[in-house]
Amino acid sequence: MTHPAPSIVWFRSDLRLADNPALTRAVEAGRPIIPVFILDDEAPGRYRPGGATRWWLHYSLRALADSLAGKGARLILRRGPAETELPRLVKETGAGAIFWNRLYEPWANERDARIKTELRQRGCEVESFNARLLAEPWVPKTGGGEPYRVFTPFWKALVALGEPEPPLPAPPRIEAGPAVAGDELEDWALTPSAPDWAGGLRESWTPGETGALGRLDAFLDGDIATYKDARNRPDKPATSRLSPHLRWGEVSPRQIWHAVRHRIEAAGGGAESSAWSFLRELGWREFSYHLLYWWPDLPERTWKEQFLDFPWAEDEAGYRAWTKGQTGYPMVDAGIRELWHTGWMHNRARMIAASFLVKDLLIPWQKGERWFWDTLVDADLANNAASWQWVAGCGADAAPYFRIFNPLTQGRKFDPNGDYVRRWIPELARLPDAHIHAPWAAPQQTLDAAGVRLGETYPVPIVDHQAARKRALEAFERIKKQA
Ligand code: FAD
């Protein structure tokens, strides 16, 4: 009896069984299935997952392998350039078809196009799908057929496309393909060992599809109701924290969209505006992918040409203090320390910390972007690049350059009782609310009573914000004159 040629499902940033069109298509094709994940460390540095996302990947792959095993299939792990590994796997298994879900990072995009051509030439059926976005990044276009440069009209165009396709259910069963050799996950050493810096990450997250759906459910049962008003408060657990799950595609934006819409309908009336404010943030994610698609050098190159000549400063000591959460500005330092501990930082804190790096220290945004790439569990090429450029003032639809975040007033407004600062900077915990965001201005007696010794237990500010602001505005005036 001859066996039918198996199908390969190539998992990449879609580590889930539900709403996975490539997997569903393979099951519908009715042939045995070989699921594979390839660790492609040949990717240029900029695309290679950083330390925190590699940690996440380890657990997410383990969860995926378990779910696949529960359905009857075995996840094959391979390491090497996908352009070599995939054709090799086709040859070894006699696969007649390959299915995958699309990536939008420029390097992966080009590579996948080459792989598709080569495998088709060899007579293999190759099909790819959208599983990562609500709409393909090339679909929303202005009336003049141009890409959008401003978020609000982009968002309106996205909503006008209508509801995204309903999510697909996970297949009930997967027929396993022939046995194939693969790597052991432990041998990839994706998790740190000496030193093991991942204790805080383990405490904070449950990577994998079940963890992602649990997080979504918990958010829909609770914080979404107050999201609109509380989303800017880093002291409250008010946002979804779905970003790292979205990074590896353990849940899809379509699943999130429909789950939210379903709850809105079930709840009626009041919940609607808060839920829309949440969906709009998913819209920012789509906008980042739209920008990356049309401007593939977004992660490297300043989007607004005018900023190409910006007089950035070399400030290695300032950069080091920033990365350690030792700038002397509690709101900046709390954000960075939250990142060190959990691999995640609240969006408001990201904006404050990023603004401090590029405006108070005049350090190029690319340097902060690279550091976030290595430390964030949700490090995402499109979101990270677009957000850094937005904060720096050189990106699409960015705030005007002269709007410089003041860490003190931001702290007082968005962490009014100092709970966020106290949580991440225990050495300031005993300062009264009135001084928690500006220890440098507290009376000596107050500092003594709280056990704070400036310059010893907590730094004095490494720059004076008002002077730094003036310096940044002068630098901006210089490029404005040249433009
Ligand atoms: P929620 O508020 O619950 O939002 C839901 C989802 O919407 C998020 O998971 C995310 O996918 C998307 N989203 C929310 N805010 C934004 C935004 N401003 N831009 C794009 N998408 C958004 N996000 C990343 O996913 N990866 C990154 O590498 C990244 N780097 C950033 C760097 C800087 C300097 C800044 C200012 C922001 C960055 N963001 C990044 C955007 C944002 O901070 C995070 O998406 C958000 O904090 C994730 O938390 P959440 O899932 O609780 O968000």
Mean pLDDT, residues 333-338 = 98
Mutate to test the pocket of ligand 1, among 229, 387, 389, 403 (most ligand atoms within 8 A of CB): 387
Q: Can you read off the two tokens belonging to residue 423?
A: 């949580």
pLDDT in tens, 169-216: 999 999 999 999 999 999 999 999 888 999 999 999 999 999 999 999
Among this protein's residues, is 347 annotated catalytic? yes
Closest C-alpha to ligand 1, atom 33: 387
Taking every pair of Cα atoms in the chain, the longest distance, rounded to a whole number of angstroms, is 88
How remote is the CA of residue 361 from the centroid of ligand 1, in Å? 23
Q: In what order do the strands lie in the sheet with 7-11?
A: 76-79, 33-39, 7-11, 97-101, 125-129
Q: Does ligand 1 have an atom closer than 6 angstroms to the CB of 242?
A: yes
Answer for the pair 43, 4: CB distance below 8 angstroms, yes or no: no
Looking at residue 483, its pLDDT comes to 59
Average the pLDDT over 436-463 and give the result: 98
Ligand 1 geometric centre to CA of 374 (Å): 16
Q: With 70 as the cut, is the pLDDT of residue 482 above it?
A: no
What is the C-alpha radius of gyration for the chain, rounded to an integer number of angstroms? 24
Residues belonging to the binding site for FAD are: 227, 239-243, 278, 378-380
Q: What is the pLDDT of residues 183-195, one digit of tens each?
A: 999 999 999 988 8
Is residue 386 very low, low, confident or very high in pLDDT (cuts 50, 70, 90)?
A: very high
**CB of 274 shorter than 6 A to ligand 1:** no
Q: Cα(388)–Cα(307) distance, rounded to whole angstroms?
A: 13
CA–CA separation, 361 vs 277, rounded Å?
33
Beta strands in 72-211 (DSSP E): 76-79, 97-101, 125-129
Give yes or no for residue 46 having a pLDDT over 90: no
Which helix (DSSP H) or strand (DSSP E) does residue 38 occupy?
strand 33-39
HSE toward the beta carbon, residue 69, CA cutoff 13 A: 7
Active site residue 56: no
Tell me the pLDDT tens digit for each residue of 47-87.
889 999 999 999 999 999 999 999 999 999 999 999 999 99
From the CB of residue 320, how many other CB atoms can be counted at a distance below 10 Å?
11
pLDDT at residue 268 in the model: 67
Report the alpha-carbon angle 72-77-82, nearest 5.
125
CA proximity to 215, closest of 264, 255, 163, 185: 255
Among 338, 131, 335, which Cα is nearest to 248's? 131
Q: Which residue has the tokens 């449950």?
A: 206
Please list, in sequence order, all residues whose beta carbon lies within 8 angstroms of the beta carbon of residue 336, skipping any fewer than 6 positions away: 322, 323, 324, 325, 345, 353
The gap from C-alpha 457 to its chain's centroid, in whole angstroms, comes to 33
Decide whether any atom of ligand 1 lies within 6 Å of the 282 Cβ. yes
Would the pLDDT of 247 be above 80? Answer: yes
The CA distance from 169 to 150, in Å, is 35
d(CA 230, CA 233): 5
Predicted complex ipTM exceeds 0.85: yes
Query: Considering Cα of 267, then 271, then 277, then 278, what sign does the dihedral take?
Result: negative
- For residue 281, indicate whether it is catalytic: yes
For position 270, what pLDDT does the model report? Answer: 65
Looking at 107, 312, 340, 371, which residue is catalytic? 312
Residue whose tokens read 């982009």: 154
User: In this predicted structure, what is the pLDDT of residue 42?
Assistant: 78
* Rounded Cα distance, 105 and 49, in Å: 12
Specify the DSSP class assigned to residue 359. I
Residue 150 has a pLDDT of 97
CB 368 within 8 A of CB 375: no
Q: Within its chain, how far is the Cα of 167 from the centroid?
A: 22
pLDDT of residue 448: 98
3-state secondary structure of 107: helix
Give the whole-angstrom CA distance, residue 163 versus residue 265: 14
Query: Ligand 1, closest atom to CA 376?
Result: 28
Mean pLDDT of 215-221: 95
- pLDDT tens per residue across span 263-308: 877 776 667 888 999 999 999 999 999 999 999 999 999 999 999 9
Output the DSSP codes for 56-97: HHHHHHHHHHHHHHHHT---EEEES-HHHHHHHHHHHHT--E
Rounded mean pLDDT, 354-359:
98
C-alpha 436 to ligand 1 mean position (Å): 27
Q: Which residue has the higher pLDDT, 170 or 480?
A: 170
User: Could you count the other beta carbons within 10 Å of the beta carbon of residue 207?
Assistant: 26
Residue 27 Cβ contacting ligand 1 at under 6 Å: no
> 70: which residues sit within 8 A by CB, 6+ positions away?
none
* 335: amino acid identity, one letter: G
**Could you tell me if the CB of 391 is within 6 A of ligand 1?**
yes
How many angstroms separate the first and last alpha carbons of the chain? 74
Cα separation, 301 vs 299, whole angstroms: 6
Question: Does ligand 1 lie within 6 Å of residue 378's CB atom?
Answer: yes
Reading the block at residue 109, the tokens are 């995009």
Task: Calculate the average pLDDT of the chain.
Answer: 95
